[in-house]
Amino acid sequence: MTDVSRDEYMAVAASREIRDGDTAFIGTGLPMVAAYLAKATHAPRVNLVFESGIIDPQPVDLATGVGDYRLVHGSTKVAGTFYALSLLQQAKVDIGFLGTAEIDPYGNLNSTVIGPYDRPRVRLPGSGGANDIASMAKRFVVIARLDRKRFVEKVQYLTTPGFLTGPGAREAAGLPGAGPVRVISDRAILGFDPASRRMRVEHLYPGVTLAEVQEHIAFPIDAAPTLEIEPEPDLHLLRLLRDVIDPDGVYVGRDER
């Protein structure tokens, strides 16, 4: 299957991070698609939580955001943002998904400003629930396209903690969550070395080289000891993505390969 798009690789890879029985904190975009794919396949008992406070919905159509009223259909509870974030504080969330404008080698994220804080070149949306998710979910996954302006040596503003300055830093800061476990990109799947806590390449998509990945990252990155090639999604997964979950290609593009 040579017509698998990068978005489809990302959605399938992200879905595999969800385990059956997890409580998963889900955002807009590819995380939403990945969550529905997981629920339709290997994780039917996953409990989906949206920041708007909509709990485990069964929507007929793909929502355009976490506050889209289409998400309410079939939900077990609609309780508001306070309730959703309180689940994190109670350590009831197993996994969360985040995007970012910048990410550094230790998985720290910036979604606040590009440039000086008082007079930035770009003012970004800020944390929202991202800091809560990264700090208190049992683990979190970042979904981000590789870009040297995004994968940087040092974030310009620390919005959301990864492993902070390295080994032991999260624990010293009193953060209960395990931190980032995976970065799902459009060319490779990245993880973190358990000793150094630095990002590393763990899976390459077919046809992508380690050198190509490095070209799109502004800091030196190593490969895991067992660097693998990511398998192509099977036809069943692709049909679910294309025909059932996102038939209009709202979040999963078909033309970028």
CA–CA separation, 107 and 112 (whole Å)? 15
Question: pLDDT tens digits, residue range 73-126?
Answer: 999 999 999 999 999 999 999 999 999 999 999 999 999 999 999 999 999 999
Longest Cα separation, the chain? 50
Number of domains in the chain: 1
pLDDT in the model for residue 2: 56
Better-scored residue on pLDDT, 145 or 69: 145
Q: Provide the edge-to-edge strand list for the sheet that holds 47-50.
A: 77-78, 54-55, 47-50, 23-26, 95-98, 139-143, 180-184, 188-192, 199-204, 222-229
Q: What is the mean pLDDT of the chain?
A: 94
Ranges 23-27, 60-64, 144-148: which has the least confidence: 60-64
Q: Is residue 1 assigned to a domain?
A: no
- Domain of residue 197 covers 6-245
The SS3 assignment for 235 reads helix
Q: Per-residue pLDDT for 1 more than 50?
A: no
Q: Is residue 206 assigned to a domain?
A: yes
Token couple for 106: 């230790």
Q: Is residue 130 assigned to a domain?
A: yes
Q: Is residue 132 assigned to a domain?
A: yes
CA–CA separation, 16 and 65 (whole Å)? 22
- pTM for this prediction: 0.94
Spatial contact of 126 and 120, defined as CB atoms under 8 Å apart: no
pLDDT in the model for residue 68: 85
Q: By percentage, how much of the chain surpasses pLDDT 70?
A: 98
pLDDT in the model for residue 256: 56
pLDDT in the model for residue 182: 98
Q: Per-residue pLDDT for 43 more than 90?
A: yes
Hey, which residues are catalytic here? 51
CA–CA separation, 14 and 99 (whole Å)? 12
Q: Is residue 251 assigned to a domain?
A: no
Token couple for 32: 């939403």
Q: Is residue 253 assigned to a domain?
A: no
- What's the CATH number where 43 sits? 3.40.1080.10
CA–CA separation, 160 and 129 (whole Å)? 9
Q: Is residue 50 assigned to a domain?
A: yes
pLDDT in the model for residue 61: 85
